[in-house]
Structure 1
């Protein structure tokens, strides 16, 4: 039966990419989908083609700026009223939040309107907005077997589904790891996620330059950099005679992953999901300022499986990068093994499992899928 669903997400890639994957799956199943976000979210190119989009006001409650809370509350309440008006005409069967403050008005309106709700948590630490609504929603979909800041009292409505990725990324799972020969091209993809990462632009070119000449000549680099860093990074690669293509945004990320032998990047939720879906080994540098240090938690499962090496940012120097690169790059069999270990912790059915959960939300309680068993430590 055709149903209507509202997806509500904050404006960063970590929230928007899984929301877009779910939107595509639901539409494939014959449903209509509307997106609620902020101005950043609706501008992501190509993610929500064919999806009705709505920008609602949503105040941001900043811990260090309590004087702004009253204004944020007024904006949140105004967004809630606009969402309720949307629901009167769109009549959603359920509202799904993906985190970020822009998701809050849509969820508050759903609570007030008696519409079934769920949240999806992309990170290994339950995000601030999802924590605020966790007790009121009907279901909580998680991406990791262990999710910190998630109360054990909520275990009955927790469903481990994984973090959805785009179909083009998921298709890489069926393809073999790119052939890596002792003297062949070694392709490196450097990405800081949707917002880039200055530390990668500062360290990676110099780190690669410290590799032995024979290894350095094999390198072929694609580097996503911030606009303020890109010229300096390009100049460094040129100075070190390392072939490198640089861009501030990589719209063809699935194609970039397809040929990459190694990824150097942050440990954002979407990055980890795509690496483990495609099966690509990585050197991960978690963002130290991430809320609740969630990127370190995100990297843990992949690193423990042997699919990645995690370096804390304070230790991420050119010397350290060169040392890790030599260990990895001079062992083609080890690289292929690491790729398989990365793939072993991927959850390729994430989008279909999440869509199944969403479709069940307005069903009788007896038909709701039972949350997958969770270990006690999963609710740290």
Structure 2
């Protein structure tokens, strides 16, 4: 624990990808005796997993996008309002530094930190520098990265960069030292399939068919756990039943860490938190990057673990993201046919990749070890060390702690939101 207790503000977008590492850093800083506040948007405030001691403050997201002038005006207004609210929080909370995790909801807070002349540390979860972090890269004190190679990060900022990895949840980190589940030519083959916070429709279409193509000796050993969208779950259940494949399906698994612990193979998207957890635990994967992710960052996220031999990639053509029901006549029929052909090809790829990685127990074990070697188990500690390196001098910390601080730094924000 640090000798001096400080105050830190974390600013993060409203998705799990931004907030999971923020929660992990908050836990580490709290363990060291510091006080931490979180600024996010309404979505972020509702995401499960936030520590009880972490006070959260909801600001306007400040998203400025599209071509509609009215949208721009509203976005700028939201940014300015959020900046003012963040400055008032700084006045009462008096942070030693602000840590930004990217995402549009972090924009007003970062602007406020600049105006208040506070030290700023950025954390980039993906292998492509996000737009908000890209904007502030030249204006901050340090940039923490999760991958050795980060696209869109200008060479002139390299002296600010520290590779720390992407912090993961405590329950996942605890699995780091557990052995890979026993896997032999006769044992069950447990496959975990997820597609983000609410599943992915393409996985519901492709994975059951791909598993059904496996040789009978391998198919008979399957035990599938799959996360699905609510509107897809019954159709997926029927597909598995037709093929005689045991499958446990749900729209959300609260015990995801336990599911990951028992899995021999993961199939799913390539978000930053997913890659971080797979590599910390050491689980081989078949990754299907989201084709319309901003700057195609999910494809970039797969580079390191694929190069190591810990994962394989199947590409999803962007055409599959279109909804045929929005069209009529020939266009609808043509799109349905094209998607069916793509899904069939992807299912064959899934089958081939599973056979390549899972037919031989030694091959699967080697892939698990390769993934494990790509992990950054000390990411939260290393990021906390970096953050602690910025802020007021020790004497100013003592002066700050002698002041009387409100019970929470968010009362003024709450009052303004209610007006």
TM-score relative to the length of structure 2: 0.85
1:143-166 Cα offsets, whole Å, 9 max, x none, are 111100000111111111110011
Deviation at 1:66, TM superposition (A): 5.5
Q: Which residue of 2 aligns with 1:331?
A: 360
Taking the aligned partners of 1:11 and 1:284, their CA distance within structure 2 comes to: 24
Deviation at 1:49, TM superposition (A): 2.5
Say whether 1:282 aligns with 2:292: no
Spell out the pairing of 1:190-205 with structure 2 (5 A cutoff): 190-205=193-208
Say whether 1:99 aligns with 2:102: yes
Pick aligned residue for 1:348 from 371, 377, 391 = 377
1:109-134 Cα offsets, whole Å, 9 max, x none, are 11111111111000000001101111
Deviation at 1:63, TM superposition (A): 4.2
Deviating above 3 A after TM superposition, structure 1's stretches of 4 or more consecutive aligned residues are 63-67
Say whether 1:209 aligns with 2:212: yes
Deviation at 1:282, TM superposition (A): 0.1
Pick aligned residue for 1:19 from 18, 22, 25 = 22
Deviation at 1:193, TM superposition (A): 1.8
Aligned to 1:301, what secondary structure does the other structure show? helix
Q: Which residue of 1 aligns with 2:310?
A: 307
Q: Which residue of 2 aligns with 1:72?
A: 75
Q: Which residue of 1 aligns with 2:252?
A: 249
Q: Which residue of 1 aligns with 2:159?
A: 156
Taking the aligned partners of 2:165 and 2:36, their CA distance within structure 1 comes to: 21
Q: Which residue of 2 aligns with 1:142?
A: 145
Taking the aligned partners of 1:304 and 1:109, their CA distance within structure 2 comes to: 40
Aligned to 1:135, what secondary structure does the other structure show? helix
Aligned to 1:220, what secondary structure does the other structure show? strand
Relative distance call for 1:128 and 1:304 in structure 2 (3 A) is same
Deviation at 1:65, TM superposition (A): 4.5
Aligned residues: 364
Aligned to 2:253, what secondary structure does the other structure show? coil
Taking the aligned partners of 1:153 and 1:196, their CA distance within structure 2 comes to: 39
CA-based RMSD: 1.3
Unpaired stretches in structure 1, ≥5 consecutive residues: 365-380
Taking the aligned partners of 1:47 and 1:218, their CA distance within structure 2 comes to: 38
Pick aligned residue for 1:358 from 387, 396, 417 = 387
Deviation at 1:323, TM superposition (A): 1.1
Aligned to 2:190, what secondary structure does the other structure show? strand
Larger Rg: 2
Conserved 8 A contact 1:12-1:194: no
